[in-house]
Amino acid sequence: MPDDLNWAIGGEAGDGIDSTGKIFAQALSRAGRHVFTSKDFASRIRGGYTAYKVRTGAEPVESVVDRLDILIALTERTIEENMDELHEGSFIIYDDERSTMRDVEIPDEMIGLPVPLKRLAEEAGGAIMRNVVALGAACEVAGFPIENLDEALEKRFGSKGQAIVENNETAARLGREYVEEEFDYDYPYELICTDEDYVLLNGDQAIGMGAIAAGCRFYAGYPITPATEVMEYLTGRIEQFGGTVVQAEDELAAINLALGGARAGARSMTATSGPGIDLMTETFGLVATSETPLVIVDVMRSGPSTGMPTKQEQGDLNMLLHGGHGEVPRFVLAPTTVAECFHKTIEAFNLAEKYQIPVYLTSDLSLAVTEQTYPPEEFDMDEVEVERGKVVDEESIADWQNENEQFQPHFPTADGVSPRAFPGTSGGAHMTTGLEHDALGRRTEDPEVRVEQVDKRDRKVDTARERENFDYREFGNPEADTLVISWGSNEGAMTEALTLLEDDGYDVRFISVPYIFPRPDLSEEIDASETTIVVECNANGPFADLIEHDTLTRVERINKYTGVRFKADELAAEVKDVLAETGEVAQ
Amino acid sequence: MSSDVRFTDFKSDVQPTWCPGCGDFGTMNGMMKALANTGNDPDNTFVVAGIGCSGKIGTYMRSYALHGVHGRALPVGTGVKLANPDLEVMVAGGDGDGYSIGAGHFVHAVRRNVDMTYVVMDNRIYGLTKGQASPTSRSDFETSTTPEGPSQPPVNPLALALASGATFIAQSFSSDSQRHTEIVQQAIEHDGFGFVNVFSPCVTFNDVDTYNYFRDAIVDLDETNHSPNDRESAKDKILEADKEYMGVIYQDDESVPYSERHGIDSNMSEIPDGAPEGAMDLVREFY
């Protein structure tokens, strides 16, 4: 019996789709199963449609695929929207007593399960529980013991009282029993439960948790999809650790608030999406030239302008690398998975403070909305190290004062990193400015000092390259002739695509790059391969451009800019197509 | 904090490049005196400034300071103060910085009521760019970019502050050193956002709002029967368009600053070498 199941619930926005899907995902996670979720927000046809999709396996699942096995359709549109993913034998659960669903035609090759969701919900205590009836029905089809739902229902409804929880448990059971009694199909699924304890979280939450773990105490932000959940996560939690969240009046204020927090010595962060980065770019240069450690998160969405706000895209790369007038270094990190959103956030804070530099942490919509299971050890707080760099105290401050006992915050050291004195440190009073400045942080237009300060700031990048390990993550066969490279969130889809390609006899090496600047030099890897393919979720391939620039070698490209993330099976097929075109058939 | 701090300790060794006679000299001197009088010293003081003639103040004062981008000094100061409530935060700006490019931040900084001081050197002109109309320029003030005058009413910053829920609104005059110092001192001592609009004349580009004009026009509220706690009376004074009042116009004695309302009381620069205690609970929440 297949153990890898793709499940979805879809309907109109406001139908409780998200919370129902979350209950199912949570139940699976609590039953020791791996889960990978995704969301359809809006439509290819018209607005209003929304769906929550759950892929589950006993083994880790890291991607969405082009297949849907069980669909709870609250509207007819839900079926239309998912026709590509539905297949022969897919089960569609729907309420045939609902006036809008009465005449729904289930395609011949699929199996419709008409269940009176509303009527059964009313029997259990209220029509509002119709989605939970559907969950119960789906449990029967999926071969998933209904008791597993109870804990998730408790978590969701516990605050509303035990009666509500019990009503929901009853509703789920009525749905399950109805399917058991009314239909006589042979359901090919059995979702095996294990004793594993997994945690279930999304990329925005992982960034927020990573920030608190890293000692972030000051967060300022302005709500924007799909970054808002970082702020929502931190609100109410960061305070427990002595920190605060400030909702700014706009992104201009948000980055300046965070800059203020950082100048005061707090680990500070702001998170936004592309349109917010546009505004923050004004202050970005000040952050960089004043050598202030700051973590700026860009949860990318489709652009330009307002673009497709609820759609996936990796289109901000060049803005992060080059945004702002003048020349000044910054680091750019791109976590490749939900768990890496946690780890890279911690690393971003350490890099920011060690090199007194702004760090862009770029996630994207697909990481932000994906809830994924991990063993809790993945987020081992005992492993977290906080490295604050060259912070001086009252004793050591004299080493960094000039002959007039003035502290020199931009002293041009050999490694480019200057001493840092937190305000309040006796003998450390100093200014800094967005104007070009000297070692004291005071305005200068002296040509020699100008060159000295530019070189000093750039030198920090060389120092970081020497001291840090800006390496890639590697998968597949390191000896393969075909090399696939991607950055950011495509890793999950590509690692699963590797398995599919292997099954078909294709030998592929996959390099997933989490460091955009500074980044690993891939010259040797590209030299060693016959064909190099760069995969990214945008139209023009800015990362492929970087690789070509770095290695002076042309690469093949797979780009997707429909607004939907890569799916594993789709990506495997595209890799095959590229290899067929380039004559590299590795079979 | 040492008790023997003198106001000259807040003076840096950089010679100001303000025009001789500029009101900003007096404005800055009063700020330094007020800081010293309130028991602050340069190592616990953070000055934030924006762009314009006023923006240079961080260079001429000795303290921790950031000279930021145009119009955004208030958010920076807010961030500094919330991240370390032990610091004395003073934000300085001009009328362009505060009421034009930074007007949005002004409204929201007033609303937040963070315990800091905002001193605006209002010369009713853009001086650093050599004489264009500012948001507080008179409607008929002829400049290089408004040859017929701006033909629109000046911003009333005090009214903007009052409408935004200000808890301390004051106005002073840079050349009245004693009163200016007193007023800034009261703003520093205020438990919340202390806002002082300072008439700080530009001797080079503004031949209308001059020292002589202000000397004649100013009415010192100390010489009237105005009570700063009387919001209605404050509102009436603020809306009298043809009057130039000096003094504390409004003060809310019940003001509760942002940090108190939000339970912020620690220096956030102090963090452990690893994840904070209890961080594993955050992971468990995701079961």
Measured between beta carbons, the chain B residues lying within 8 angstroms of A385 are: 273-274
For the cut 90, the answer to whether the pLDDT of residue B3 exceeds it is: no
Measured between beta carbons, the chain A residues lying within 8 angstroms of B80 are: 260-261, 263-264, 423
Show the CA angle centred on residue A280, arms to residues A466 and B85, nearest 5°: 85
What the block records as the tokens of B38 is: 């309130």
Largest CA distance in chain A: 91
CB-CB under 8 Å, B268 with A243: yes
HSE (side-chain half, CA atoms, 13 Å) at B199: 25
Measured between beta carbons, the chain A residues lying within 8 angstroms of B52 are: none
Burial class (CB in 10 A: 0-12, 13-18, 19+), A382: exposed
CA distance A239 to A235: 7
CB-CB under 8 Å, B66 with A290: yes
Measured between beta carbons, the chain A residues lying within 8 angstroms of B59 are: 431, 433, 442-443
CB-CB under 8 Å, A286 with B79: no
For the cut 70, the answer to whether the pLDDT of residue B67 exceeds it is: yes
- Given this model, what pLDDT does residue A494 score? 98
User: Which CATH number is B153's domain given?
Assistant: 3.40.50.970
CA distance A82 to A105: 14
CB-CB under 8 Å, A261 with B271: no
Contact B133, B125 (CB under 8 A): yes
Give the nearest chain A residue to B101 (CA atoms): A252
- Given this model, what pLDDT does residue A45 score? 53
Of the candidates A257, A276, A487, the one whose C-alpha atom is nearest the C-alpha of residue B114 is A257
Q: Could you read off the pLDDT of B138-151 as tens digits, one per residue?
A: 999 999 999 999 99
CB-CB under 8 Å, B66 with A431: yes
CB-CB under 8 Å, B43 with A428: yes
Of the candidates A484, A489, A478, the one whose C-alpha atom is nearest the C-alpha of residue A567 is A489
Q: Could you read off the pLDDT of A223-232 as tens digits, one per residue?
A: 999 999 999 9
Instruction: Out of B77, B86, B108, name the one closest to residue A249 (CB).
Output: B108
- Given this model, what pLDDT does residue B148 score? 95
CA distance A292 to A284: 10
Q: Could you read off the pLDDT of B159-177 as tens digits, one per residue?
A: 999 999 999 999 999 999 9
Distances (CA, A) of B144 to B136, B141, B213, B225: 16, 10, 22, 42
Give the nearest chain A residue to B73 (CA atoms): A256
Q: Can you tell me whether residue A527 is helix, strand or coil? A: helix
Instruction: Out of A200, A425, A428, name the one closest to residue B286 (CB).
Output: A200
Measured between beta carbons, the chain B residues lying within 8 angstroms of A152 are: none
Contact A134, A175 (CB under 8 A): yes
E strands, A325-417, in order:
331-333, 358-364, 371-374
CB-CB under 8 Å, A431 with B79: no
Question: What's B100's DSSP letter?
Answer: I
Measured between beta carbons, the chain B residues lying within 8 angstroms of A263 are: 46, 64, 66, 76, 79-80
Q: Domain count of chain B? A: 1
CA distance A279 to A94: 46
Instruction: Out of A205, A260, A422, name the one closest to residue B75 (CB).
Output: A260
In a domain, B26, yes or no: yes
Helices and strands: H and E segment counts in chain B: 11, 8
Q: Can you tell me whether residue A385 is helix, strand or coil? A: coil
E strands, A403-481, in order:
431-433, 473-476
Q: Tell me the CATH class for A473-582.
A: alpha beta
- Given this model, what pLDDT does residue A1 score? 45
Q: How confident is the model at residue B271 (pLDDT cuts 50, 70, 90)?
A: very high
Rg (CA), chain B: 20
- E strand or H helix at A422: none
Contact B176, B152 (CB under 8 A): no
- Given this model, what pLDDT does residue A309 score? 94
CB-CB under 8 Å, B107 with A432: no
In degrees rounded to 5, what are phi and psi of residue A146? -65, -25
CA distance A348 to A351: 5
- Given this model, what pLDDT does residue A2 score? 58
Measured between beta carbons, the chain B residues lying within 8 angstroms of A29 are: 287
What the block records as the tokens of A188 is: 């090919």
Measured between beta carbons, the chain A residues lying within 8 angstroms of B271 are: 215, 217, 267, 386
> Chain A: nearest CA to B234, how far in angstroms?
27
Measured between beta carbons, the chain B residues lying within 8 angstroms of A290 are: 66
Q: What dihedral do alpha carbons A179, A183, A184, A190 form, nearest 10°?
A: -30
What the block records as the tokens of A335 is: 């976590």
What the block records as the tokens of A218 is: 């000051």
What the block records as the tokens of A517 is: 């600047």
- E strand or H helix at A137: helix A130-142
CB-CB under 8 Å, A266 with B284: no
Query: Could you identify the residue written with the tokens 């800006």?
Result: A470
A5-182 CATH fold: Pyruvate-ferredoxin Oxidoreductase; domain 3 (3.40.920)
Quick count: other Cβ atoms within 10 Å of Cβ A103? 8
Give the nearest chain A residue to B286 (CA atoms): A199
CB-CB under 8 Å, A212 with B263: no
Q: Tell me the CATH class for A201-383.
A: alpha beta
What the block records as the tokens of A459 is: 């030198």
Measured between beta carbons, the chain A residues lying within 8 angstroms of B83 are: 217-218, 260-262, 264-266, 268
In a domain, B1, yes or no: no
Measured between beta carbons, the chain B residues lying within 8 angstroms of A266 are: 83-84, 268-269
Contact A307, A319 (CB under 8 A): no
**Residue A543 one-letter amino acid:** F
- Given this model, what pLDDT does residue A443 score? 96
Interface test with B, best of A256, A430, A442 (most B CBs within 10 A): A256
CA distance A105 to A102: 9
Give the nearest chain A residue to B271 (CA atoms): A215
Rg (CA), chain A: 26
> Chain B: nearest CA to A201, how far in angstroms?
6
HSE (side-chain half, CA atoms, 13 Å) at B285: 13
A-B CB pairs within 8 A amount to 217
> Chain A: nearest CA to B177, how far in angstroms?
26
For the cut 70, the answer to whether the pLDDT of residue B42 exceeds it is: yes
Interface test with B, best of A283, A381, A430 (most B CBs within 10 A): A381
Burial class (CB in 10 A: 0-12, 13-18, 19+), A161: exposed
CB-CB under 8 Å, B46 with A264: yes
Interface test with B, best of A26, A217, A437 (most B CBs within 10 A): A217
Q: Could you read off the pLDDT of A110-150 as tens digits, one per residue?
A: 999 999 999 999 999 999 999 999 999 999 999 999 999 99
In a domain, B2, yes or no: no
Q: How confident is the model at residue B1 (pLDDT cuts 50, 70, 90)?
A: very low
Instruction: Out of B47, B69, B266, name the one closest to residue A282 (CB).
Output: B69
Q: Could you read off the pLDDT of A453-467 as tens digits, one per residue?
A: 999 999 999 999 999
Distances (CA, A) of A249 to A13, A199, A253, A258: 28, 34, 6, 13
What the block records as the tokens of A284 is: 């970005």
pLDDT averages per 10-residue partition of chain A, 587 residues: 84 92 96 95 68 95 93 95 95 95 93 97 96 98 95 94 96 98 94 94 98 98 97 98 98 98 98 98 98 98 96 97 97 98 98 98 97 97 98 96 97 98 97 98 98 98 98 98 97 96 97 98 97 98 98 97 95 97 67
Helix B177-189 vs helix B23-37: angle between axes, to the nearest 10 degrees?
A: 50
In terms of residue numbers, what domain contains B183? 7-284
